[in-house]
């Protein structure tokens, strides 16, 4: 295998053993970027000299006989909506092209401390708002598996890059599916951690309002579950700059190997290919000795409505002016469609949403007492035709019920790859979403490893 085909665990092991140097891995990854990125436009900013210098530091540390950190020499990418010192935190916006960060976001700082080599920054839609990735600053990101389908969003650049071999791990953020859905669309493993698991803070911008504070998280995309496990542990190291951070153990108490399967939460019109993927995931768990019951899930629809209300309430506070100034046609369209579906709440509406959140979370936590993990759709449909939200936003929003409904409660969710299927768009990746209780990412990763071990391995794709 070429060095850019290896997962991060294999790369770190080969570097630690002296089989390859970190510089060789970085040079191979940068060459891979040169070869494939023009076709997918996933990485939109890079500093090759800085990447090679970081790799050289790893090699010098090994040469001195020092013990290497868990991701030493592993190539990673960073989404353009988090601060990386010396780089623009654009969030896909022309109006932020000169917003240069002075300090690293805690996620970036933790990756650097673990020896990871940042090879580039990845594209996101304007305001990181869509499940598709195009903006007026950097242009259109494509799915390396199939250019007719979305790479997902808003971390579409991260997932597209990782799937195409530009780095072993891609950093993403998730407030309404922006890690889980790109992982699904690009055939990867991707986890949305519990609120507070991964510290995050952008010194380049004011603190966000309460809705985003409660729902937005950072997490990894990767081509193997073991890479997700290692990179999540690295990202989750403490940082006092984020008051929401909780230094919870990465592994919780022992739990029964019992899962719930819900194919059509609250009447969701689940596509047959999606149902097939869900039942396949359940069958693999059963094969490993898990007990799986088909049941109704806790609520998604009411939490999704509260989620949308909090989004709009925050946009009404001041983001509307930024939307007008940026004047990105896609973002303007999506915002208008959101207004059609949900009215901007008044103060009482926001307070009611916050009150309801507690009850929803209680109901979900009681559910996980019986079923440590829920298997449900990432989306009601296979990966969408690209830019479908510009043609039929209500269809997209309905299909994404489980993406939007989950973050309100701050719960962790994981997209796990199950294989490929033939849709009207041609061959597309498929997968299942796994959900568990707060700070029980270990359960999601355990279940995902079982599913991964009984399916086809994720291979790098050349667009």
Q: 202: Cβ–Cβ under 8 A, 6 or more apart, which residues?
A: 82, 83, 89, 101, 105
Alpha-carbon distance values, 143 to 66, 80, 249, 376, 430 (Å) = 40, 18, 35, 23, 14
Query: Smallest Cα–Cα separation from 225: which of 141, 284, 293?
Result: 284
Cα–Cα distance for residue pair 7/224, rounded to 1 Å? 7
Query: Does the annotation mark 136 as catalytic?
Result: no
Q: Which of 214, 202, 197, 200 is nearest to 242 (CA)?
A: 200
Distance CA 261, CA 282 (A): 7
Helix (H, G, I), strand (E, B) or coil at 155: coil
Contact 107, 199 (CB under 8 A): yes
Determine which one of 21, 128, 154, 415 is catalytic. 154
How far apart are the C-alpha atoms of 115 and 436, rounded to whole Å? Answer: 30
Among 401, 357, 407, 393, residue whose Cα is nearest residue 376: 401
Q: Which of 128, 155, 178, 204 is catalytic?
A: 178
Does 340 qualify as catalytic in the annotation?
no
Distance from C-alpha of 393 to C-alpha of 152, rounded to nearest angstrom? 15
Catalytic annotation on 178?
Answer: yes
Catalytic entry in 21, 79, 224, 297: 79
Q: What is the C-alpha to C-alpha distance for residues 218 and 201, in angstroms, rounded to an integer? A: 10
φ, ψ of residue 100 to 5 degrees: the values are -90, 125
The string of DSSP codes covering 35-94 is HHHHHH--EEE--HHHHHHHHHHHHHHHHTTPPPPTTTT-EEEEETTS--TTSB--TT-G
Residues involved in catalysis: 79, 154, 178
């Amino acid at each position: 295998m070429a060095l850019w085909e290896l997962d991060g665990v294999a790369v770190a092991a080969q570097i630690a053993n002296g089989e390859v140097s970190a510089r060789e891995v970085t040079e191979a990854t940068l060459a891979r970027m040169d070869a494939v990125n023009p076709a997918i436009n996933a990485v939109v900013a890079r500093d090759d000299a800085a990447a090679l210098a970081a790799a050289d530091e790893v090699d010098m540390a090994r040469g001195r006989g020092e013990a290497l950190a868990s991701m030493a020499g592993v190539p990673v990418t960073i989404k353009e909506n988090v601060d990386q010192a010396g780089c623009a935190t654009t969030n896909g916006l022309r109006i932020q092209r000169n917003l240069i960060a002075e300090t690293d976001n805690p996620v970036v700082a933790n990756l650097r401390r673990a020896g990871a080599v940042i090879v580039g920054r990845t594209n996101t839609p304007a305001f990181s708002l869509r499940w598709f990735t195009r903006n007026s600053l950097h242009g259109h990101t494509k799915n390396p598996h199939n250019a007719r389908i979305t790479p997902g969003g808003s971390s579409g650049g991260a997932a597209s890059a990782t799937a195409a071999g530009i780095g072993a791990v891609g950093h993403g953020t998730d407030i309404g599916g922006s890690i889980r859905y790109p992982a699904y669309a690009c055939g990867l493993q991707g986890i949305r951690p519990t609120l507070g698991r991964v510290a995050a803070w952008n010194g380049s911008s004011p603190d966000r309002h309460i809705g985003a504070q409660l729902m937005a998280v950072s997490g990894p995309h990767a081509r193997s579950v073991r890479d997700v496990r290692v990179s999540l542990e690295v990202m989750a190291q403490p940082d006092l700059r984020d008051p929401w951070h909780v230094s919870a153990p990465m592994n919780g108490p022992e739990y029964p190997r019992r899962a719930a399967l819900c194919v059509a939460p609250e009447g969701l019109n689940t596509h047959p290919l999606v149902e097939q993927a869900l039942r396949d995931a359940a069958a693999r768990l059963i094969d490993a000795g898990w007990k799986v019951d088909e049941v109704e899930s806790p609520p998604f629809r009411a939490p999704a409505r509260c989620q949308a209300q909090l989004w709009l309430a925050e946009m009404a506070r001041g983001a509307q002016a930024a939307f007008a100034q940026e004047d990105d046609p896609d973002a303007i369209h999506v915002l208008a469609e959101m207004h059609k579906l949900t009215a901007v709440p008044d103060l009482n509406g926001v307070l009611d949403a916050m009150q309801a959140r507690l009850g929803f979370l209680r109901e979900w936590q009681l559910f996980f007492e019986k079923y440590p993990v829920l298997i449900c759709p990432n989306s009601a449909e296979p990966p969408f035709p690209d830019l479908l939200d510009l043609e039929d936003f209500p269809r997209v929003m309905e299909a994404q019920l489980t993406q939007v409904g989950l973050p309100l409660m701050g719960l962790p969710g994981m997209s796990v790859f199950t294989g490929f299927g033939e849709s009207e768009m041609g061959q597309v990746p498929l997968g299942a979403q796994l959900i568990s209780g707060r700070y029980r990412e270990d359960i999601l990763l355990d279940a995902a490893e079982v599913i991964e071990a009984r399916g086809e391995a994720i291979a790098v794709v050349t667009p």
